Structure 1
Amino acid sequence: MHFQRLRDLREDRDLYQKDIAQVLGISQTVYSRYERGFQTIPVIHLLALADFYQTSTDYILGRTNVSKPYPQTPGR
């Protein structure tokens, strides 16, 4: 699965793959594989990306076109 939205979110903020890789604590090569769909994104990284971009995991995964994140559940 190709994750064009990850690339779009990153480029909209004028960031490089190495910048996001640093946020996740991984190499730029691994992050590049995520964007191109050559490697599965671990849930922990998907959640970190959603938090970083202030969007939902469903938006990143292409399950919705609504980029606004879901409201936080109390106690989280």
Structure 2
Amino acid sequence: MTRLRELRESNGLTREVLSKELNIPVRTVARWEKGENDMHLQSAIKLADYFGVTLDEFVSKY
């Protein structure tokens, strides 16, 4: 399980809710979680901020 999925699920969010809150296509979130696409640094920073973790914490398991 990716760190993104772990954080999303532990916060009770669906992919759809997360994508709407951060204005990221739901398909992109799904691809990141499945490891099909790499994430740009700006997106990783945005997600780390959203979940209240450091960038190191966010990418350490991603």
**TM-based fold match above 0.5:** yes
| TM-score (normalizing by structure 1) | 0.70
Q: Give the count of matched residue pairs.
A: 61
1:18-33 matched pairs, under 5 angstroms: 18-33=16-31
> CA offsets per residue over residues 41-64 of structure 1, 9 Å max, x none?
11111111010001011112116x
| TM-score (normalizing by structure 2) | 0.83
| Structure whose residues are more often helix by fraction | 2
Which protein has greater RCO, CA pairs closer than 8 Å, 6+ apart?
A: 2
Q: Computing the radius of gyration over CA atoms, which structure comes out larger, 1 or 2?
A: 1
User: Does structure 2 retain, via aligned residues, the 8 Å contact 1:24–1:45?
Assistant: no
Q: Which moved more, 1:52-61 or 1:21-30?
A: 21-30
Q: Which runs of 5+ in 1 are unaligned?
A: 64-76
Q: Which runs of 5+ in 2 are unaligned?
A: none
